[in-house]
Amino acid sequence: MTEAYENKLTQAQIEELAAHCEKAELEAYEITKITDDYPQMTYKDAFDIQWETRRRKEERGHKIVGMKMGLTSWAKMAQMGVEQPCYGFLADYFSVPEGGEIKHDELIHPKIEAELAFVLKDELKGPGVHIGDVLRATDFVMPAVEVIDSRYKDFKFDLKSVIADNSSSSRFVTGGRMADIADLDLKTIGVVMEINGEVVQTGAGAAVLGHPAASVAMLANMMADRGESLPAGSFIMIGAITAAVQVEKGDAFTVRYQGLGTLSGKFV
Protein backbone atom coordinates (compact mmCIF):
# COMPACT_ATOMS: atom_id res chain seq x y z
CA MET A 1 0.00 0.00 0.00
CA THR A 2 3.03 2.33 0.38
CA GLU A 3 2.89 2.77 -3.39
CA ALA A 4 -0.32 4.75 -2.89
CA TYR A 5 1.50 7.38 -0.79
CA GLU A 6 4.24 8.07 -3.31
CA ASN A 7 4.25 10.16 -6.46
CA LYS A 8 4.99 8.53 -9.79
CA LEU A 9 4.13 11.69 -11.75
CA THR A 10 6.26 14.83 -11.85
CA GLN A 11 4.94 18.16 -10.56
CA ALA A 12 4.76 19.36 -14.17
CA GLN A 13 2.60 16.35 -15.13
CA ILE A 14 0.33 16.93 -12.12
CA GLU A 15 -0.17 20.58 -13.13
CA GLU A 16 -0.75 19.61 -16.76
CA LEU A 17 -3.36 16.97 -15.84
CA ALA A 18 -5.14 19.38 -13.46
CA ALA A 19 -5.42 21.89 -16.31
CA HIS A 20 -6.59 19.11 -18.67
CA CYS A 21 -9.38 17.90 -16.31
CA GLU A 22 -10.45 21.41 -15.34
CA LYS A 23 -10.67 22.57 -18.96
CA ALA A 24 -13.01 19.64 -19.69
CA GLU A 25 -15.17 20.68 -16.71
CA LEU A 26 -15.28 24.38 -17.62
CA GLU A 27 -15.90 23.82 -21.34
CA ALA A 28 -18.13 20.72 -20.86
CA TYR A 29 -16.48 18.13 -23.06
CA GLU A 30 -15.54 14.48 -22.52
CA ILE A 31 -12.02 13.18 -22.04
CA THR A 32 -10.67 9.63 -21.75
CA LYS A 33 -9.68 8.45 -18.30
CA ILE A 34 -6.21 9.69 -17.47
CA THR A 35 -4.92 6.34 -16.21
CA ASP A 36 -5.09 5.19 -19.86
CA ASP A 37 -2.17 7.55 -20.57
CA TYR A 38 -0.57 7.43 -17.12
CA PRO A 39 -1.07 3.83 -15.88
CA GLN A 40 1.71 4.32 -13.33
CA MET A 41 -0.10 7.11 -11.46
CA THR A 42 -0.78 6.55 -7.74
CA TYR A 43 -3.57 7.64 -5.39
CA LYS A 44 -1.26 10.39 -4.13
CA ASP A 45 -0.84 11.64 -7.70
CA ALA A 46 -4.62 11.59 -8.16
CA PHE A 47 -5.26 13.66 -5.02
CA ASP A 48 -2.39 16.01 -5.91
CA ILE A 49 -4.11 16.65 -9.27
CA GLN A 50 -7.40 17.40 -7.46
CA TRP A 51 -5.72 19.76 -4.99
CA GLU A 52 -3.91 21.51 -7.84
CA THR A 53 -7.30 22.05 -9.55
CA ARG A 54 -8.58 23.47 -6.27
CA ARG A 55 -5.56 25.80 -6.08
CA ARG A 56 -6.17 26.97 -9.65
CA LYS A 57 -9.79 27.85 -8.85
CA GLU A 58 -8.84 29.73 -5.68
CA GLU A 59 -6.11 31.59 -7.56
CA ARG A 60 -8.79 32.83 -9.99
CA GLY A 61 -10.84 34.16 -7.06
CA HIS A 62 -13.27 31.28 -6.45
CA LYS A 63 -14.07 30.21 -2.91
CA ILE A 64 -14.22 26.60 -1.78
CA VAL A 65 -17.59 26.35 -0.02
CA GLY A 66 -17.68 22.71 1.04
CA MET A 67 -16.54 19.13 0.58
CA LYS A 68 -18.28 16.05 -0.77
CA MET A 69 -17.79 12.32 -0.43
CA GLY A 70 -18.29 9.94 -3.36
CA LEU A 71 -18.61 6.17 -3.87
CA THR A 72 -19.91 5.83 -0.32
CA SER A 73 -21.98 2.68 -0.66
CA TRP A 74 -20.34 -0.68 0.03
CA ALA A 75 -22.05 -2.12 -3.05
CA LYS A 76 -20.67 0.65 -5.28
CA MET A 77 -17.17 0.16 -3.87
CA ALA A 78 -17.32 -3.60 -4.51
CA GLN A 79 -18.63 -2.95 -8.03
CA MET A 80 -15.74 -0.55 -8.72
CA GLY A 81 -13.20 -2.84 -7.04
CA VAL A 82 -12.10 -0.11 -4.63
CA GLU A 83 -11.40 -0.22 -0.91
CA GLN A 84 -12.54 3.22 0.08
CA PRO A 85 -14.68 6.13 -1.06
CA CYS A 86 -13.25 9.32 -2.51
CA TYR A 87 -13.76 13.00 -1.80
CA GLY A 88 -13.95 16.21 -3.78
CA PHE A 89 -14.32 19.92 -3.14
CA LEU A 90 -17.30 22.19 -3.85
CA ALA A 91 -16.53 25.55 -5.46
CA ASP A 92 -18.77 28.60 -5.04
CA TYR A 93 -20.15 28.49 -8.59
CA PHE A 94 -21.31 24.86 -8.10
CA SER A 95 -24.09 26.12 -5.80
CA VAL A 96 -27.59 26.40 -7.31
CA PRO A 97 -30.44 28.01 -5.32
CA GLU A 98 -33.22 25.74 -4.09
CA GLY A 99 -35.89 25.62 -6.80
CA GLY A 100 -33.41 27.14 -9.26
CA GLU A 101 -32.44 26.37 -12.82
CA ILE A 102 -29.37 24.37 -13.80
CA LYS A 103 -27.98 25.02 -17.28
CA HIS A 104 -27.72 21.61 -18.94
CA ASP A 105 -25.45 22.98 -21.69
CA GLU A 106 -22.79 23.82 -19.08
CA LEU A 107 -22.59 20.11 -18.23
CA ILE A 108 -21.76 16.94 -20.18
CA HIS A 109 -24.00 14.07 -19.01
CA PRO A 110 -25.32 15.13 -15.58
CA LYS A 111 -26.91 12.79 -13.05
CA ILE A 112 -28.55 13.70 -9.75
CA GLU A 113 -28.17 12.05 -6.36
CA ALA A 114 -30.10 12.61 -3.13
CA GLU A 115 -27.75 13.30 -0.22
CA LEU A 116 -27.56 14.88 3.22
CA ALA A 117 -25.18 17.64 4.27
CA PHE A 118 -23.56 18.03 7.69
CA VAL A 119 -22.53 21.48 8.91
CA LEU A 120 -19.90 21.43 11.67
CA LYS A 121 -19.74 23.62 14.77
CA ASP A 122 -16.31 22.27 15.80
CA GLU A 123 -13.20 21.28 13.88
CA LEU A 124 -12.73 17.61 13.00
CA LYS A 125 -9.08 16.62 12.75
CA GLY A 126 -7.98 13.07 11.94
CA PRO A 127 -6.60 10.49 12.14
CA GLY A 128 -8.83 8.44 14.41
CA VAL A 129 -12.08 10.40 13.94
CA HIS A 130 -15.14 8.17 14.56
CA ILE A 131 -18.93 8.56 14.33
CA GLY A 132 -19.17 9.82 17.93
CA ASP A 133 -16.71 12.63 17.17
CA VAL A 134 -18.77 13.60 14.12
CA LEU A 135 -22.07 13.69 16.03
CA ARG A 136 -20.48 15.82 18.77
CA ALA A 137 -18.99 18.26 16.24
CA THR A 138 -22.12 18.61 14.06
CA ASP A 139 -24.17 21.81 14.28
CA PHE A 140 -27.02 20.58 12.06
CA VAL A 141 -27.86 18.47 9.01
CA MET A 142 -29.83 19.54 5.96
CA PRO A 143 -30.93 18.02 2.65
CA ALA A 144 -28.74 18.30 -0.43
CA VAL A 145 -28.93 17.17 -4.04
CA GLU A 146 -25.69 16.67 -5.91
CA VAL A 147 -25.38 16.96 -9.68
CA ILE A 148 -22.50 14.71 -10.67
CA ASP A 149 -20.98 15.07 -14.12
CA SER A 150 -17.93 12.94 -14.74
CA ARG A 151 -15.75 14.46 -17.42
CA TYR A 152 -14.87 10.96 -18.59
CA LYS A 153 -16.38 9.50 -21.74
CA ASP A 154 -19.57 7.50 -21.03
CA PHE A 155 -19.09 8.03 -17.26
CA LYS A 156 -16.43 5.26 -17.33
CA PHE A 157 -13.52 5.68 -14.95
CA ASP A 158 -11.38 4.04 -12.27
CA LEU A 159 -10.87 5.40 -8.75
CA LYS A 160 -7.62 7.25 -9.49
CA SER A 161 -9.09 8.97 -12.55
CA VAL A 162 -12.25 10.02 -10.73
CA ILE A 163 -10.28 11.45 -7.78
CA ALA A 164 -8.22 13.53 -10.23
CA ASP A 165 -11.50 14.76 -11.78
CA ASN A 166 -12.65 16.14 -8.39
CA SER A 167 -14.87 13.08 -7.91
CA SER A 168 -17.27 14.15 -10.69
CA SER A 169 -18.38 17.28 -8.77
CA SER A 170 -20.27 19.89 -10.77
CA ARG A 171 -23.35 21.42 -9.08
CA PHE A 172 -25.35 21.07 -5.87
CA VAL A 173 -28.60 22.28 -4.36
CA THR A 174 -29.23 22.58 -0.63
CA GLY A 175 -32.06 23.99 1.47
CA GLY A 176 -35.16 22.39 2.94
CA ARG A 177 -35.15 22.28 6.72
CA MET A 178 -32.10 22.13 8.96
CA ALA A 179 -32.39 19.71 11.85
CA ASP A 180 -30.54 18.80 15.01
CA ILE A 181 -29.05 15.32 14.67
CA ALA A 182 -30.51 14.40 18.07
CA ASP A 183 -33.96 14.71 16.47
CA LEU A 184 -33.22 12.36 13.54
CA ASP A 185 -32.56 8.68 13.07
CA LEU A 186 -29.91 9.15 10.42
CA LYS A 187 -29.82 5.46 9.49
CA THR A 188 -33.52 5.14 8.69
CA ILE A 189 -34.23 8.62 7.32
CA GLY A 190 -36.14 8.11 4.06
CA VAL A 191 -35.72 9.88 0.73
CA VAL A 192 -37.93 9.86 -2.39
CA MET A 193 -36.66 11.28 -5.69
CA GLU A 194 -39.09 12.33 -8.42
CA ILE A 195 -38.31 13.48 -11.96
CA ASN A 196 -41.16 15.14 -13.86
CA GLY A 197 -43.58 13.91 -11.18
CA GLU A 198 -42.57 10.26 -11.41
CA VAL A 199 -40.84 8.45 -8.53
CA VAL A 200 -37.46 7.25 -9.83
CA GLN A 201 -35.50 6.41 -6.66
CA THR A 202 -36.05 5.80 -2.96
CA GLY A 203 -33.44 5.27 -0.27
CA ALA A 204 -32.51 5.45 3.41
CA GLY A 205 -29.58 7.02 5.22
CA ALA A 206 -27.97 3.67 6.01
CA ALA A 207 -27.08 3.35 2.30
CA VAL A 208 -24.14 5.66 3.10
CA LEU A 209 -21.48 3.47 4.76
CA GLY A 210 -24.12 2.08 7.17
CA HIS A 211 -24.50 5.51 8.83
CA PRO A 212 -24.23 8.99 7.28
CA ALA A 213 -21.85 10.23 10.00
CA ALA A 214 -19.38 7.47 9.05
CA SER A 215 -18.88 9.29 5.75
CA VAL A 216 -17.88 12.52 7.53
CA ALA A 217 -15.53 10.60 9.84
CA MET A 218 -13.88 8.96 6.83
CA LEU A 219 -13.47 12.34 5.12
CA ALA A 220 -11.78 13.82 8.21
CA ASN A 221 -9.37 10.87 8.35
CA MET A 222 -8.62 11.05 4.61
CA MET A 223 -7.96 14.81 4.90
CA ALA A 224 -5.51 14.06 7.71
CA ASP A 225 -3.37 12.14 5.21
CA ARG A 226 -2.55 15.57 3.74
CA GLY A 227 -2.26 17.36 7.07
CA GLU A 228 -5.66 18.99 6.50
CA SER A 229 -8.71 19.12 8.77
CA LEU A 230 -12.39 20.02 8.51
CA PRO A 231 -12.76 23.42 10.20
CA ALA A 232 -15.77 24.56 12.20
CA GLY A 233 -18.47 25.74 9.81
CA SER A 234 -17.59 23.15 7.14
CA PHE A 235 -20.41 22.06 4.81
CA ILE A 236 -20.00 18.37 3.92
CA MET A 237 -22.12 16.35 1.51
CA ILE A 238 -22.00 12.71 2.55
CA GLY A 239 -22.53 10.80 -0.71
CA ALA A 240 -25.55 9.28 -2.40
CA ILE A 241 -28.50 7.87 -0.48
CA THR A 242 -30.09 6.94 -3.82
CA ALA A 243 -28.56 5.72 -7.06
CA ALA A 244 -27.61 8.47 -9.50
CA VAL A 245 -30.23 9.21 -12.17
CA GLN A 246 -29.39 10.76 -15.55
CA VAL A 247 -31.24 14.00 -16.34
CA GLU A 248 -32.02 15.67 -19.64
CA LYS A 249 -32.69 19.28 -20.60
CA GLY A 250 -36.24 20.18 -19.50
CA ASP A 251 -36.33 17.71 -16.58
CA ALA A 252 -37.67 18.97 -13.26
CA PHE A 253 -36.76 17.13 -10.06
CA THR A 254 -38.14 17.06 -6.52
CA VAL A 255 -36.52 15.17 -3.67
CA ARG A 256 -38.60 14.61 -0.53
CA TYR A 257 -36.85 13.98 2.77
CA GLN A 258 -38.52 12.48 5.82
CA GLY A 259 -38.76 15.34 8.33
CA LEU A 260 -36.48 17.65 6.34
CA GLY A 261 -38.75 19.05 3.64
CA THR A 262 -38.09 18.97 -0.09
CA LEU A 263 -35.54 20.19 -2.62
CA SER A 264 -36.32 20.91 -6.25
CA GLY A 265 -34.77 22.26 -9.40
CA LYS A 266 -34.98 22.21 -13.17
CA PHE A 267 -32.52 21.56 -15.99
CA VAL A 268 -32.89 24.18 -18.72
Structural domain contains residue 240:
yes
Rg (CA), the chain: 17
Residues 137 and 219 sit within 8 Å (Cβ to Cβ): no
Domain that holds residue 139: 63-267
pLDDT higher than threshold 90 for residue 82: no
Which CATH number characterizes residue 72's domain?
3.90.850.10
Structural domain contains residue 165:
yes
CA distance 24 to 16: 13
CA distance 101 to 264: 9
Structural domain contains residue 24:
no
Residues in the chain: 268
User: In the predicted model, what is the mean pLDDT of residues 162-181?
Assistant: 96
Assign 3 a pLDDT band (cuts: 50, 70, 90): low
Assign 84 a pLDDT band (cuts: 50, 70, 90): confident
Higher-confidence residue: 77 or 243?
Answer: 243
User: In the predicted model, what is the mean pLDDT of residues 228-250?
Assistant: 96
* pLDDT reported for residue 76: 73
Exposure string for 203-235, b = 16+ CB within 10 A, e = fewer: bbbbbbbebbbbbbbbbbbbbbeeeeebeeebb
pLDDT higher than threshold 70 for residue 190: yes
CA distance 116 to 18: 28
pLDDT higher than threshold 80 for residue 66: yes
pLDDT higher than threshold 50 for residue 1: no
Q: What is the mean pLDDT of the chain?
A: 95
pLDDT higher than threshold 90 for residue 199: yes
Structural domain contains residue 75:
yes
User: In the predicted model, what is the mean pLDDT of residues 226-253?
Assistant: 96
* Residue 181, number of CB atoms within 10 A of its CB: 17
Which of 3-7, 70-74, 163-167, 170-174 is predicted least confidently?
A: 3-7
Assign 2 a pLDDT band (cuts: 50, 70, 90): low
Structural domain contains residue 116:
yes
Structural domain contains residue 13:
no
Question: pLDDT (tens digit, 9 = 90+) per residue, 21-57?
Answer: 999 999 999 999 999 999 999 999 999 999 999 999 9
Structural domain contains residue 235:
yes
Per cent of the chain over pLDDT 90 is: 91
CA distance 157 to 213: 27
Assign 204 a pLDDT band (cuts: 50, 70, 90): very high
Higher-confidence residue: 210 or 155?
Answer: 210
* Number of separate domains in the chain: 1
Structural domain contains residue 196:
yes
